[in-house]
Amino acid sequence: MSYFKDLLSNFIKDYNINSYNKNKNINSTLEISHDCDWHIDNSLFMASLENKYDIKSTYYLLNPDGFTKSHNYFGYIENKKFLIDEKLFDIAKNLLDLGHEVGFHNDLITLGLFLKKQPGELLDFILNEFTKRNINITNIKSH
């Protein structure tokens, strides 16, 4: 991960670095976002490193799709039902505590096909679970 540290140290010399939704009117702004596809520990390491440099970015959390993976850090499929791992909410809160935004990088069309459910139904379920825990999902993008 030293390459990431080197990259960040060069960026902070020339840019204001912000999360996706912050400070759109500042010139020379670099926005950083991370797609957390498989290894959430790497993302948490990067989030901590960015925090040390006072860098704010957006971390997009990805659900399993059912076909290629039936489980990941986000959740798992059991008996044709999608369940969210409770640890995910701690991960999201950790990212927020480090000053970052949390987004949803979804694979809901594929998951919907696997579970024979509408993507919108799955999206409502997931967003409601975050909302119940006072975790704000700032952005959504498809995989």
pLDDT tens digits for 41-91? 999 999 999 999 888 999 999 999 999 989 999 999 999 999 999 999 999
Mean pLDDT of 116-143: 94
At 21 the pLDDT is 56
Instruction: Please list, in sequence order, all residues whose beta carbon lies within 8 angstroms of the beta carbon of residue 113, skipping any fewer than 6 positions away.
Output: 66, 67
Condensed to tens digits (0 to 9), the pLDDT of residues 113-122 reads: 999 999 999 9
**How many angstroms separate the Cα of 73 from the Cα of each of 5, 20, 25, 45?**
24, 23, 35, 15
At 32 the pLDDT is 83
Rounded CA-CA distance 75/98 in Å is 23
80-111 b/e (C-beta count within 10 Å ≥ 16 → b):
eebeeeeebbebbebbbebebbbbbbbbbebb
Q: Above 80 in pLDDT, residue 36? A: yes
Q: Above 80 in pLDDT, residue 12? A: no
Closest CA to 37 of 113, 122, 143: 143
What percent of the chain stands above pLDDT 70? 79
